[in-house]
């Protein structure tokens, strides 16, 4: 075929005349790793087009749309696709349309040997075609189309990356505004309260009033310290400042300690705090991370539960939980026996469907409110989620408005 002129009659179209050289220099910029997929039901045409570009690009070929989709699904994601329009079974437009699901960024070029306007429109609508090449095609025209196609791919990719960066910057900007709002309001209020109370203590007050003032100072300072600690936790997690050392840990004494600790706060609201546990609770976690997770979840359970209610903590092998409880875990029920499960069920207001979408976001303003006038930073659950992810655990939520909420945790069992 080197230096030969070939004339073909394809699909009753006009004769196609090509002149090719075996080592034809395509004259394109160095791009040896660029990926290109050629699809045509005529094997000889596929090979002729591939011959032009094979020395420059990573070229794959297929003789049907189904075969081409299989190539992509097996891991070859092309930057540029050339497809013939008229193919049996699946037209070029149909193939290009389907390829968008598996290679959304690829530049698409379609070759057509006839001028049926409906097919042209279909190609544009279904396949998001970048350019048409008509038969008989000319090698130089095809090379130029491919060169421009890769430039188009680079432009789209850069634009996508830029949009992603801009979106991230907008998110960071909003988070900075949220932090400033917290500093201006949530943090200023307790500090102002401490100052006013301290000034009042310089006046003549009774011993009973002085005791009340001391309690208010403690409450306000604890709120400020909690807020600062939450902000520092988030900042540390996001910059990777917390090195996680995952190891076998017996969770039972940790849970026991926190249940006892929060029983005092629960009693102040006439809330019963019950802990049911079965099985060995040995799991692969980072102990400090697990402490933060449990602390936040139990604190929230007490904070959001109604007075004279009951909070239940259940810890056991995950396989003991009901199927409905595991439905949103992402864990295969057959693998549940390899996990330790913990459920913390409160008796609060529950979450709306909109709440559930944002429950683990930073600074999320959710509909539920603390039932005893406690403060909330909107950071606790986002901290929990980041810690759970960092130690390869799972967390999910079941909740209905007015029926309370149950947070589920799962961690891999240690041997």
Give dist(CA 398, CA 329) in Å, integer: 10
The predicted structure's pLDDT at residue 24:
44
Give dist(CA 3, CA 118) in Å, integer: 37
Kindly report the CATH number that applies to the domain delimited by 175-238: 1.10.287
Give dist(CA 341, CA 329) in Å, integer: 11
The predicted structure's pLDDT at residue 66:
94
- The verdict on pTM exceeding 0.85 is no
Query: Which residues in 169-207 are b (16+ Cβ under 10 Å) and which e?
Result: eeeeeeeeebbeebeeebbeebeebbeebeeeeeeeeee
Domain-wise residue ranges, the chain: 5-137, 175-238, 247-412
The DSSP letter of residue 182 is I
The torsion angles phi and psi of 365, rounded to 5 degrees, stand at -95, 105
Kindly report the CATH number that applies to the domain delimited by 247-412: 3.30.565.10
Question: CB neighbours (10 Å) of residue 57?
Answer: 22
Give dist(CA 276, CA 160) in Å, integer: 50
> What's the average pLDDT block by block, 10 residues per block, for the chain (415 residues)?
43 45 42 82 90 90 94 93 90 89 90 65 65 82 91 90 86 70 64 76 73 77 73 68 82 93 90 90 91 90 94 94 90 93 94 90 79 71 88 94 94 90
Say if domain 5-137 classifies as CATH 3.30.420.40. no
CA 353 centroid distance within chain: 19
ω into 16 cis (within 30 of 0) = no
């Amino acid at each position: 075929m080197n230096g030969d002129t070939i004339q073909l009659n394809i699909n009753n179209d006009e004769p196609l005349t090509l002149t090719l050289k075996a080592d034809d220099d395509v004259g394109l910029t160095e791009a040896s790793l660029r990926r290109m997929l050629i699809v045509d039901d005529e094997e000889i045409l596929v090979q002729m087009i591939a011959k032009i570009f094979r020395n420059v690009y990573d070229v794959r070929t297929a003789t049907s749309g189904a075969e081409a989709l299989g190539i992509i699904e097996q891991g070859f994601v092309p930057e540029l696709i050339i497809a013939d329009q008229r193919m049996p079974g699946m037209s070029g437009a149909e193939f290009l349309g389907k390829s968008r699901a598996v290679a959304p960024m690829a530049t698409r070029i379609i070759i057509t040997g006839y001028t049926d306007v409906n097919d042209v429109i279909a190609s544009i609508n279904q396949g998001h075609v970048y350019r048409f090449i008509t038969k008989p095609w000319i090698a130089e025209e095809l090379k130029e189309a491919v060169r421009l196609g890769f430039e188009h791919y680079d432009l789209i990719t850069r634009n996508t990356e830029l949009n992603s960066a801009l979106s991230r910057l907008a998110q960071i900007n909003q988070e900075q505004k949220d932090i400033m709002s917290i500093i201006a309001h949530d943090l200023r209020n307790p500090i102002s309260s401490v100052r006013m109370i301290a000034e009042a203590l310089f006046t003549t007050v009774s011993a009973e009033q002085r005791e009340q003032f001391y309690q208010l100072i403690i409450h306000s300072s604890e709120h400020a310290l909690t807020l600062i600690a939450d902000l520092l936790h988030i900042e540390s997690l996001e910059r990777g400042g917390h090195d996680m050392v995952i190891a076998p840990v017996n969770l039972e004494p940790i849970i026991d300690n926190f249940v006892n600790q929060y029983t005092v706060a629960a009693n102040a609201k006439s809330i019963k705090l019950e802990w049911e546990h079965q099985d060995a609770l040995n799991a692969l976690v980072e102990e400090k991370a697990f402490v933060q997770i449990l602390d936040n979840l139990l604190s929230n359970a007490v904070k959001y539960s109604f007075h004279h209610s009951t909070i239940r903590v259940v810890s056991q092998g995950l396989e003991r939980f009901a199927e409905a409880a595991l439905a949103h875990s992402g864990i295969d029920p057959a693998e549940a026996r390899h996990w330790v499960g913990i459920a913390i069920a409160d008796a609060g207001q529950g979450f709306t469907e909109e709440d559930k979408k944002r429950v683990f976001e930073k600074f999320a303003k959710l509909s539920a409110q603390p039932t005893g006038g406690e403060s909330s930073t909107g950071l606790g659950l986002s901290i929990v989620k980041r810690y759970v992810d960092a130690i390869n655990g799972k967390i999910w939520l079941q909740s209905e408005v007015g029926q309370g909420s149950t947070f589920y945790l799962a961690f891999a069992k240690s041997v």
